[in-house]
Amino acid sequence: MADQSFLDLRKQALAIPDKVAVVCDGASLSYENLEALANRFASVLRERGLQRGDHVATLMGNRPEMLAVAWAAWRSGVYLTPMPTALAAAELGYLVGDCDAKLVLADSMLPHVAEPLPPMFPGRPIHWLSLGGSLAGYTPVEPLLATATLLPPDQEMPGALMMYTSGTTGAPKGVYRPLLPPDWRGTPPFAADLIQLFDLGGETVRYLSTAPLYHAAPLRFALAVTAAGGTVHVMGRFDAEEALGQLEKLAITHSQWVPAMFQRLLTLPSGRREAFSAPAHQYAIHGAAPCHPELKQAMIDWWGPVFLEYYSGSEGVGLTLIDSAEALAHRGSVGRARKGIIHVIDETGAEVPAGETGRIYFSGGPPFEYYKAAGKTAARTLESGWQTFGDIGHVDDSGYLYLTDRADDMIISGGVNIYPQEIEAVIRGVAAVWDCAVVGVRDERFGEKPVAFIVADITRASGTSELSAAVRRACQERLGRFKQPAAIHVIDQLPRSPAGKLLRKQLRELIQPVN
């Protein structure tokens, strides 16, 4: 039903079978081998009884088989939900149950699997398959792959990824879209826009994946590169020194980061940073969390104008892009819309003009719904059909988007709306501050009050009390009384997810309500 120019794994396996498709911690798969493994996984899914529209979950580390499983789900007509490996058993149980998984593929190298998870759904027909060996309560995958009957191409049908939101503001939610028709053929939707937007097409692309593949962006980018014929280099875990070395030694052309990784890179010894040279590196792609202008400036000064920031989310209703030159000219912006049309909506539901703040909605993108959560979907959808990631901000006269904060993070103190990012921007201006975050805590008089958490720049800070006093003075000079932090805490590091997202809930749990 689609034209014959579409890109996918099988097309690359036929054209460049011996080319390396994916490398991780010394293990690699050629395109021919990745295609064969994906097809065998697809056969296992079929032989275990999965039908079109069923759900499969994975609990896997960063290993080449993750891409094979994702491609297998795509050609089997099933939904794939990767689960974060750092979750506790109860959290994994929630995801398995919520996504209605009929099969779970588990990595036997993970602690969760080495000490098998307790039976979480004894009355449900869930098949637990183990990668890497036979464990109590698990069926090993290897014998099933060895005896699998290869799935004929004419029996294939498009599946989909059903990724879950990070759960930083509540229980994770599955992002669901209907499957494409069974006879549809084309570049998979999870790859098509990325290939175009980030110049991922072609065999010369060498992509460095620095984050866990169970997150939406790292997995989608890796799949897009293999659809287009490039090579994916996956780090088993992020290490700043190792990442620099791979950029240099592997002649990486594209890489992906979160701002917390930039901070760790900048703490490397000055001699190592000065010696860094990666002339093949064309695109340092980053997103997932705000990158404040000073951090962006420091990285551009070091690596040059190779940075390409995106703003989007698991819901996928829109996307903005901004390159290095634009970022320097429009400090603090996340760019202009490249997917969907931006609308800024006030509390009455009216669209506001450029320069005014409101909730950010997109139109023109593929609509989503949260799996089995109609109320939560409705809370993110207007009657017009426009949908939001839940962020607040404004656009300027040239269409550049500036994010103020997430609606879920907004603090309401004495009836006044307070945006943490506004306070954080002031705190970051203090010379001895390395990182910071502001959260709202309960207050009997005002409902909520802002509280600040600060990570000191050890090369500049003279002491905790002096740093706190400097932050207090800056806030008094530049912020109204309601916006000034009720308390300032200096901590060693901010809690973040593996995707680099700030875990404000964990910060709130560190302190008692302000009275």
pLDDT category at 322 given cuts 50, 70, 90 is very high
Pick the closest to residue 485 from 442, 439, 434, 446 (CA basis).
Answer: 439
What mean pLDDT comes out for the span 136-163?
87
State yes or no: pLDDT of 150 exceeds 50.
Answer: yes
pLDDT digits (tens, 9 = 90+) for 384-393: 999 998 888 9
- 336 CB burial (10 A radius; 0-12, 13-18, 19+): middle
pTM of the full structure:
0.83
pLDDT of residue 372: 93
Q: What is the DSSP letter of 385?
A: S
Cα separation, 186 vs 202, in Å, equals: 17
Q: Are 487 and 451 in contact (CB under 8 A)?
A: yes
Across all residues in the chain, what is the average pLDDT? Answer: 87
Phi/psi at 426 (nearest 5 deg)?
-70, -45
Size (the chain), residues: 515
pLDDT digits (tens, 9 = 90+) for 327-367: 999 999 999 999 999 999 988 889 999 989 899 999 998 89
Please give the full DSSP string across 428-491, using - where no structure is assigned. HTSTTEEEEEEEEEEETTTEEEEEEEEEE-TTT---HHHHHHHHHHHHHHHS-GGGS-SEEEE-
Q: Which position has the higher pLDDT, 503 or 461?
A: 503
State yes or no: pLDDT of 135 exceeds 60.
Answer: yes
What CA–CA distances, in Å, run from 499 to 110, 247, 260, 512? 19, 20, 9, 28
- 23 CB burial (10 A radius; 0-12, 13-18, 19+): middle
**All domains of the chain in start order, with CATH:** 26-179 (3.40.50.980), 238-408 (3.40.50.12780), 410-508 (3.30.300.30)
Please give the full DSSP string across 418-440, using - where no structure is assigned. E-HHHHHHHHHTSTTEEEEEEEE
The count of C-alpha atoms lying within 13 angstroms of the C-alpha of 113, restricted to the half-sphere facing its C-beta, is 23
263 membership: H or E segment, kind and range: helix 259-266
User: Which residues are paired to 309 by β-bridges?
Assistant: 286, 322
